[in-house]
Amino acid sequence: MKKENTVTVFLMGKAYRVPAGLTIMKAMEYAGYRLVRGVGCRGGYCGACATVYRLPGDYRLYADLACQTTVQDGMYIAQLPFTPATRAPYRLEELAPQGETLLALYPELARCVACNTCTKACPQKLEVMDAVQQALRGDIAQVAELTFDCVSCGLCTMRCPAEIMHYHVWQLARRLHGAYQAPRSGHLADRVGQIRQGAFHGELDRLMAMGKDELAQAYKARDIEP
């Protein structure tokens, strides 16, 4: 491989020459690191490849996901498998779908100084600070809407000076919204009714009787929506 087609990156403090254009994740694998646990596209959960890095001549500390960030020459990289954040204990069926519920379980929300650091740190480009403000206003549905694409990487929480446990707040808001506020899906109720009436027992019995090779062939031949 020609030298001009590679860049130098530092993984765990050690320099490696890797092909230019790779994502951080693929560069790590090229260098010999096996990502066999945690990472969503490697059999774990999405958001587990959170990464912080510095660039040559730049004092700033950047945060992003290794699966979507391209390596740059001289990049110093450190992996963060998760961001420690205490989850408040609760039983969903005992909670009310009210804004006060969010603040009662996560009072640090009130410490938000609207610095917008959380938004700048978000690799999904979510309006994180806006979601915090909606949580303070008690609008659970809006919090759920704004954070729908959150992958719980924790980078916003890591950078927050108010020490807000963002992704735990978002999970609670989405659970409250889904359990109490969101309209019920008619077609889902119909399908659940069909399952309870045994409409698919025959098909399940047929699949259970198949061997491994036959199952693999049926899987490859299945109808896939465009």
133 shares its domain with 117 = yes
Let me know if residue 74 belongs to a domain.
yes
pTM score above 0.75:
no
99 shares its domain with 168 = yes
Average pLDDT of the chain to the nearest whole number: 88
Q: What band does 39 get if pLDDT is binned at 50, 70 and 90?
A: low
Whichever domain contains 19, its CATH number is 3.10.20.440
pLDDT per position as a tens digit, 152-166? 888 899 889 999 999
Q: What band does 79 get if pLDDT is binned at 50, 70 and 90?
A: confident
70 shares its domain with 138 = no
117 shares its domain with 169 = yes
Q: What band does 139 get if pLDDT is binned at 50, 70 and 90?
A: very high
pLDDT higher at 25 or 130: 130
Q: What band does 1 get if pLDDT is binned at 50, 70 and 90?
A: very low
171 shares its domain with 100 = yes
In the chain, the number of structural domains is 3
190 shares its domain with 138 = no
Let me know if residue 75 belongs to a domain.
yes
pLDDT per position as a tens digit, 194-211? 999 999 999 999 999 999
Report, as an integer, the average pLDDT of 29-58.
78
72 shares its domain with 113 = no
The residue segments making up the domain with residue 209 are 186-214
Full strand arrangement of the beta sheet holding 50-54: 14-19, 6-11, 75-79, 50-54, 62-65
Let me know if residue 84 belongs to a domain.
no
